[in-house]
Amino acid sequence: MYSTVGLLKNSKHSGKLVGTHQKLDRVARRELAKIASKDVNFPTIKEILYFEGTRGPDGLKRKSPGVDEPMHFIIPDHDDGKLIQLILDHQYNLKKALKMKNNTRAAFEAAWLAHAITDGLTPAHHFPYQEAVSELMSDKEYVTIFGQPIKGIMRGDNLRETARNNWLYWGVEGYMTKHIAFEYGVALVAAAEPAAKLAPKITKKDLENLDLKTEFYKSLEKVHNLDMYTRFRHTGWNNELATESYQTLLPEIVRMITLAWYSALPERTKK
């Protein structure tokens, strides 16, 4: 999902106009305040958003492509368990940071935890993207410019194969073209809707015996059953998909971020 399309780099307005991750985090932080103890020690939204955008997972991918990149893809029908383990690792680290009152580390873990959840529940991330890239990268080495590896160029064994592979990746119906177009559509919906419309309904039952792994897979199943990305690949964006985005998809992501943060709190119940 888009996190680095803000009007100004690291602007205080990030997530108010554009920046899907930032906006969802803002809504989730407000929802957390409604259900958590009033005296809870949790990073502010300003502190959390410091570790988004260029300082978040997307920024890392640009700075060092292919090196220790956090992979936020999940194939619901063939889950390898890597994403949920990453999410649980961030939850564990967030719990530890909160307990030790390490606010900077807590803000980092909260931001990266939210980012992983958002990507994991984004339908475009349910497509076997890595397998597609592996097939198109005949030569597995990244193309370099001035010694810097450039991600996103499908390198073939020769010039003709490189051109063919990149058309399949970046062409009108290419894998990445479709991926970006879907996320751009969701980003526009998120930017257009007021925060209140993206707020989920969180009940006391949701908070009882909360297990992050179980709750994430329930959300994943709910989103996956909508089949949004498959329909998008066939028809492109339409009113039906846009409506599902702001009525179901985005509130469900906010709900899951809120519950993930809540699950890490030393004292969960509101006083």
> What are the tokens at 170?
């970046």
Q: What pLDDT, in 10s, does the model give residues 42-51?
A: 999 999 999 9
Q: What percent of the chain has pLDDT over 70?
A: 75
Of 58-62, 98-102, 106-110, 160-164, the least confident: 58-62
**Cβ neighbours of residue 128 under 8 Å, at least 6 residues apart?**
75
Between CA 112 and CA 271 the distance in angstroms is: 28
User: C-alpha angle 80/86/88, rounded to 5°?
Assistant: 110
Q: Which residue has the tokens 């990445």?
A: 176
The residues with which 149 forms a beta bridge, in sequence order, are 144
pLDDT reported for residue 268? 62
Residue 90 burial (CB count, 10 A): 24
CB 64 within 8 A of CB 111: no
Distances (CA, A) of 250 to 15, 20, 199, 210: 14, 10, 8, 21
Q: Are strands 143-145 and 148-150 parallel, antiparallel or unpaired?
A: antiparallel
SS3 15: coil
CA 41 and chain centroid, separation: 24
Residue 11 burial (CB count, 10 A): 14
Q: What pLDDT, in 10s, does the model give residues 107-155?
A: 999 999 999 999 999 999 998 766 666 665 655 555 555 455 555 666 6
> What are the tokens at 93?
């680290």
The residues with which 144 forms a beta bridge, in sequence order, are 149
- What mean pLDDT do residues 89-93 have? 97
pLDDT reported for residue 56? 86
- Comparison of pLDDT for 218 and 164, the residue scoring more: 218
User: Whose CA is closest to 115, among 229, 19, 33, 227?
Assistant: 19
Q: What pLDDT, in 10s, does the model give residues 2-38?
A: 544 444 444 444 444 458 999 999 999 999 999 998 8
DSSP result, 157-199: SSHHHHHHHHHHHHSTT-HHHHHHHHHHHHHHHHHHS-HHHHP
Between CA 61 and CA 54 the distance in angstroms is: 10
